[in-house]
Amino acid sequence: MAIATLLPATTAFIQRAPRMLIGAEWVEAADGQTMPLHNPATGEQLCVVPRATVDDVDRAVLAARQAFDDSPWSRTRPRERQNLLWKLADLMQRDAELLAQLECLNNGKSAAVAQVMDVQLAIDFLRYMAGWATKIEGSSVEVSVPLMPDQQFHSFIRREAVGVVGAIVAWNFPLLLACWKLGPALATGCTVVLKPADETPLTALKLAELVQEAGYPDGVFNVVTGTGITAGAALTHNPRVDKLTFTGSTAVGKEIGKIAMDSMTRVTLELGGKSPTIVMADADLGSAAAGAASAIFFNQGQVCCAGSRLYVQRKHFDNVVADIAGIANAMKLGSGLDASVDMGPLISARQQERVWRYIEMGRDSGATIACGGERFGPGYFVKPTVIVDVDQQHSLVQEEIFGPVLVAIPFDDEADALRMANDSPYGLGASIWSNDLAAVHRMIPRIKSGSVWVNCHSALDPALPFGGYKMSGVGREMGYAAIEHYTELKSVLIKL
């Protein structure tokens, strides 16, 4: 057993009860209220952070507004924005182990995995976005202007930063999700108020320290810690915010979308998923089973695009399910500080209870638990679970569980697989496991999801847009698509 020793800097960060960053100030909540954070592996309290009030959020938005409208930041050239983002990424690289340990303590995930996945992906993404800072282009257009046929014009289209961004994120990849918002915002010249998830604000607060150290002007990045119902709602309703970008549940995303439409605030919504893993009969079944297991069990199944529905061509169904159950049964559960552990705890007692209710629902309705189906403590553990003998219309198949629970159903042919894969309110990701090139190419355009992976699952790259069809969201993150979402177009016509 290799238990990681906490860095002195990790312990010091937690012990000093981190505060929020508003403008240039590290502050408590205006009314002094705090909220406790817990270590999901033990259930013990880690520390407290400020519980932001509506006033705190308003002050943070004002700081971001002033920084956008009238500060050195508003005159920053693309090259400086590029260099600052690189500097920030370098500082994150320097503190990668600290960031990973904070993510582990606060979220429960493996520190070793967080360092090479969450933190490294965030760093790579910021560097990718730094590259865009110097490549944002408008265009010039030769116009006719029918109402003024005798005039000459010079006309061009500018792409301008959208302004103050209100960013609200979920707890499953706290740092990475924050950087998916921060990267395009800082590359384009926006300013940001970030509201991390109630449960996991620690890496966002560390990130804010690094933003200051990188040399960003005050007010460019602000972090308010607090609840969704107060701080999140205050950010959503604030009229000084130009764009909202939200990662979280479909239920909250829909509310935020409606509020944004009321004020015509620009909005991007990255929401829930129930992504299918489709294993065709011709697939390399060994790697398909391993891939399907990792598609659902990585990060304790708390992944928006987790492969939580498994469809296997009938003649191999029992074998593939048995292989996945074998992998699940061999997984070691424990603290994310133990590098030999395969799966950590869920984020909270509430999430453990939610996942447990689904497992019980499956049992009560006569489904078969092929493996797992147990929970334990201390901490919020649920064993990796595979459920079979469920109908496509069952809540286990239709609803997002957001835990290490896989439902598996056999299919007869390609049409059957596509019908069931698309029979979902969600459309975030899907994977096809097959070596039949023609079948794969026939299926890709017919799958209704924002990403399709072939012989892999949840493989993300900064250059590839990521987002959802249907109830999985509106808009895209990553790639040039993200730059488009953080900019407005302005048409300019000059009469010569």
Taking residues 375 to 414 in sequence order and writing x for each that binds ligand NAD by CB under 6 A, - otherwise, the string is -------------------------x-x------------
The Cα–Cα gap between 439 and 431 comes to 13
CA–CA dist 479, 316 (Å, integer): 37
Which region among 13-21, 46-54, 192-200, 381-389 touches ligand NAD (by CB under 6 A)? 192-200
Question: Cβ atoms within 10 A of the Cβ of 385, count?
Answer: 28
Active site residue 179: no
The answer to the question of residue 482 lying near ligand NAD (CB under 6 A) is: no
Q: Which stretch binds ligand NAD (CB under 6 A): 10-18, 158-166, 169-177, 277-285?
A: 169-177
For the CA atoms of the chain, what is the radius of gyration?
24
Helix locations, 330-433, DSSP H: 349-364, 395-398, 414-422
Q: Answer yes or no whether residue 218 interacts with ligand NAD by CB under 6 A.
A: no
Residue type, 8: P
With contacts defined by CB under 6 A, name the span among 2-10, 63-71, 170-178, 478-486 that binds ligand NAD.
170-178
Q: Say whether 44 is catalytic.
A: no
Residue from 273, 276, 307, 362 touching ligand NAD (CB under 6 A): that is 273
Among the listed residues 47, 179, 190, 304, the single catalytic one is: 304
453 belongs to the binding site for ligand NAD (CB under 6 A): no
| Contact pick of 195, 206, 243, 448 for ligand NAD (by CB under 6 A) | 195
* 408: β partners: 310
Question: Which residue from 160, 255, 399, 423 is in contact with ligand NAD, where contact means CB under 6 A?
Answer: 255
**362 is a contact residue toward ligand NAD (CB under 6 A):** no
Map the footprint of ligand NAD across residues 420-449, applying CB under 6 A: 428
Residue of the chain from 473, 478, 483, 486 that contacts ligand NAD (CB under 6 A) = 473
d(CA 412, CA 462): 36
Residue 418 CA, distance from chain mean position? 26
Q: How far is CA 151 from CA 146, 155, 491, in A?
A: 10, 12, 18
Q: Give yes or no for a contact between 65 and 49, defined as CB atoms under 8 angstroms apart.
A: no
Measure CA 123 to chain center: 15
Instruction: Tell the smallest beta-carbon distance from residue 31 to ligand NAD (Å).
Output: 18
CA distances, 6 to each of 3, 14, 17, 83, 97 (Å): 9, 11, 17, 31, 9
According to CB under 6 A, which one of 203, 236, 268, 335 is a site residue for ligand NAD? 236
Q: Which two tokens stand for residue 175?
A: 């740092």
Q: Closest approach of Cβ 27 to ligand NAD, in Å?
A: 19
Q: Find the binder of ligand NAD among 252, 293, 386, 430 (CB under 6 A).
A: 252
